[in-house]
Structure 1
Amino acid sequence: MRLDHTDQQLINHFQRHLPVSERPYLDMARQLGISEQEVIERLQSLQSRDVVGRVGPVFEHSQAGASLLAAVAAPEDQMDLVAARINRAPGVNHNYAREHTYNLWFVMTAPDNELLEEHLDELEQELKLPMLRLPMVEGYHIDLGFDIDWEALL
């Protein structure tokens, strides 16, 4: 799959430095010399072709309230049903299956620890499944940006 120079610039320049503003796509467009609509269309195209998985900021969760990694042991034949219920819970921002006794893992956030625990308690009672609660003890920053040598890919 070939990407033109503008797509390459979108990927290289903004994977680490997404503008923090009311109209980040307009700011990106100005830097690239294209329209805001073209930025949006190009990003949608990159996502639809699985070149880019996600467009958006990554927040330092500890600055935005409380969060926790949790896991449940769902019966294999109920995985989809349990995952759908977890996804409807307030503050769940991702949910994924793993090969483990505790086979559905998710992160839940809330404005504070009290409300977070309340939401987890409600979900646990409704699911009637064992739940692991794994609060973060120490945070690590992993830079997921990549410097791409477009010439080497040709």
Structure 2
Amino acid sequence: MDDIDRLIINSLQNGFPVCNRPYLQAATALGLSEQDLLQRLQALLDNGTLSRFGPLYHAEQMGGALSLAAVKVPDARFEEVTEIINAFPEVAHNYARNHELNMWFVLATETAEQLQNTITAIEQQTGLSVFNMPKINEYFVGLKLEA
């Protein structure tokens, strides 16, 4: 990663243009060509420096619901339960954890009622209790790289 990559990462965390040519506008602000910005973003994704590049939606502000959930999954059923939970389109992320509650996942739904319905469906399909941990406060941790 070079100084230009660091500049891109630092800059684009603060917002991305909403216009007909957002990459061109962002590139111009960074002193780059649109093609160079696109190539660099793709390289950062390809080499794993960035895991994703896209908007972050605030589900609650859009009338939806978002929650962290956890399940205590027996080791012998871990793969089976993973497949069941990952089949739900409401599951945004799913992680194995070294903890008694060894599977943690994020649920994002269009309504609060749908969140509870999804939890209930997961419990019914897996036979396991889901621990729902809705956020109380959100804290943004920005990543700033030294150029």
What's the TM-score once normalised by structure 2's chain length?
A: 0.83
Alignment partner of 1:149 is 2:137: no
* Distance change (3 Å), C-alpha of 1:122 and 1:60: same
2:89 corresponds to which residue? 90
Cα deviations by residue, 1:115-150 (Å, 9 ceiling, x for unpaired): 2211221121011112111222x213232221x222
2:79 corresponds to which residue? 80
2:65 corresponds to which residue? 66
Opposite residue 99 of structure 2, the aligned amino acid is H
2:5 corresponds to which residue? 7
Alignment partner of 1:38 is 2:36: yes
* Distance change (3 Å), C-alpha of 1:13 and 1:114: same
* Distance change (3 Å), C-alpha of 1:51 and 1:129: same
CA distance in 2, matches of 1:110, 1:133: 14
Q: Is the 8 A contact 1:16 1:145 kept in 2?
A: no
**Aligned residues with identical type, % of pairs:** 36
Q: Select between 55-64 and 102-111 the one with higher mean Cα deviation.
A: 55-64
Gaps of 5+ in 1: none
Q: How many residues align?
A: 146
**Ranges of 4+ aligned residues in structure 1 off by more than 4 Å:** none
Opposite residue 149 of structure 1, the aligned amino acid is E
Q: Select between 72-81 and 88-97 the one with higher mean Cα deviation.
A: 72-81
Q: Is the 8 A contact 2:71 2:130 kept in 1?
A: yes
2:101 corresponds to which residue? 102
What's the TM-score once normalised by structure 1's chain length?
A: 0.80
Gaps of 5+ in 2: none
Question: How is 1:49-64 mapped onto 2 (pairs within 5 angstroms)?
Answer: 49-64=47-62
* Distance change (3 Å), C-alpha of 1:19 and 1:77: farther
Q: Select between 102-111 and 60-69 the one with higher mean Cα deviation.
A: 60-69
